[in-house]
Amino acid sequence: MFARCKRVRTVITISDSVLKYLTGLVVLILLLVFTSPLIILWERRFSVETVELNLLVESLILSLITSMFSSILVFIFSVPVAFTLTTIRGSFKRTIEAAIMIPVIVSPSAIGSIILLFFAKSPVGSTLNRLIGVLNDPKGVVLAQFTIGFPVAVSFYTALFSSIPRVYEETAMEAGLSRLEYLYRVLLPMTRNHVLSGLVLIYARVFADFGTSLIVGGGIRGKTWTFPIYVYMMTQYGEITVLSVTLLVYLLVAFGLLYALYSVREVSSGLRQG
C-alpha cells in the first residue's frame, strides 16, 4: 500500500513538472513571437518617417473614440435586451437569440456588405444615409462596431443576469419596484464589477473590428482608417519599420485592455470572497 502511494506521488510530481515545462515553453514561444516587432525596430534604430507616425496616431485616436461611442451604445441597448431574454422561454426566445447572434456566425465583411446594401439601395436606408451620413463616415464606423459588439454584449449580460438568484427579483417586486427599477436600481449595482468587466470586453471587441468597419466606413485614409485598417494597410503596402511600430502599439493597447479586464475580475473575486 505504501509503495503504491509512493508511485502515485511520483507520477503526480512528474506530471506537475511536465505541465510547468510546457507552460514555460508556451510563454517562451509567445515572447519570441510578440517581441519580434521590437527586435526589428532595435535593428533599424527606431527610424520611422514622421508622416507615417502621424497617420498612425490619427487612426489610433479614431479607433479609441469610435470604440468608446459604440461601446456606450452597445451597453445601453444590450442590457435591457439581455435582461428581457432572462425572463422569456421557448421558441420565441430562441428566435430572438438566433437573430441577435447572426453577426457572430457570419463573417464581418458579409455583415458590412449587408449594412452597405441597406444604406445604399434600400429606400429607408438610403434616406437615412442622406439625412445623417452613415456610409464613408466615422458614424458608419460606429455603426459597424455596434453591430459586431452588440451580440457579444447580449450573450455576456444574459449569462450574467441568469446567474443571479431569482429571490432578489422577487424581493424587489414585493418592495414595490417595477422590473425596470429592479434592473437599474438593484441588479446593475449588485453586479457592477461584472458589468464593467463586460464593458471592457465589448470595447476590446469593437476596437478590433476590421471587415465591417472597412466596408461601411469606406476605408478612407485620414477619415475612416481605424487602427486595425491601418495595420492591414501597413502589412500590405507599408515599410517594415512602420509596420513594426504599428504592431508594437497594437500589442500595448491589447495588453492595457486585458490588464483592465483582469483587474476588474480580481476586484470582483475579492468582493465575493470578502
Q: Pick the more confident residue, 174 or 136.
A: 136
pLDDT in tens, 30-47: 777 777 777 777 766 666
Amino acid at 175: A
Q: Pick the more confident residue, 137 or 22.
A: 137
pTM: 0.84
Cell of 78: 444590450
Which range among 37-41, 77-81, 118-122, 193-197 shows the weakest confidence by mean pLDDT? 37-41
CB 136 within 8 Å of CB 220: yes
What mean pLDDT value characterizes the chain?
A: 85
CB 202 within 8 Å of CB 225: no
What are the φ and ψ backbone dihedral angles of 145, each rounded to 5 degrees? -65, -40
In angstroms, how far apart are the furthest CA atoms of the chain? 82
The position carrying cell 466596408 is 215
Q: Pick the more confident residue, 272 or 233.
A: 233
Q: Pick the more confident residue, 17 or 202.
A: 202
pLDDT in tens, 126-161: 999 999 989 999 999 999 999 999 999 999 999 999
Q: CA-to-CA distance for 144 and 115, rounded, in angstroms?
A: 8
Amino acid at 224: T
CA distances from residue 201 to 18, 111, 215, 230 in whole angstroms, order as listed? 33, 20, 23, 22
Q: Pick the more confident residue, 179 or 270.
A: 179
pLDDT band with cut points at 50, 70 and 90 for residue 59: very high
Q: 50-273 in CATH: which number? A: 1.10.3720.10
Residue 48 has pLDDT above 70, yes or no: no
Residue 57 has pLDDT above 50, yes or no: yes
Q: CA-to-CA distance for 120 and 116, rounded, in angstroms?
A: 6
Q: Pick the more confident residue, 117 or 92.
A: 117
The pLDDT assigned to 29 comes to: 80
Amino acid at 104: V
pLDDT band with cut points at 50, 70 and 90 for residue 170: confident
Q: CA-to-CA distance for 185 and 227, rounded, in angstroms?
A: 37
pLDDT band with cut points at 50, 70 and 90 for residue 11: very low
Residue 252 has pLDDT above 80, yes or no: yes
The pLDDT assigned to 228 comes to: 94
CB 150 within 8 Å of CB 78: yes
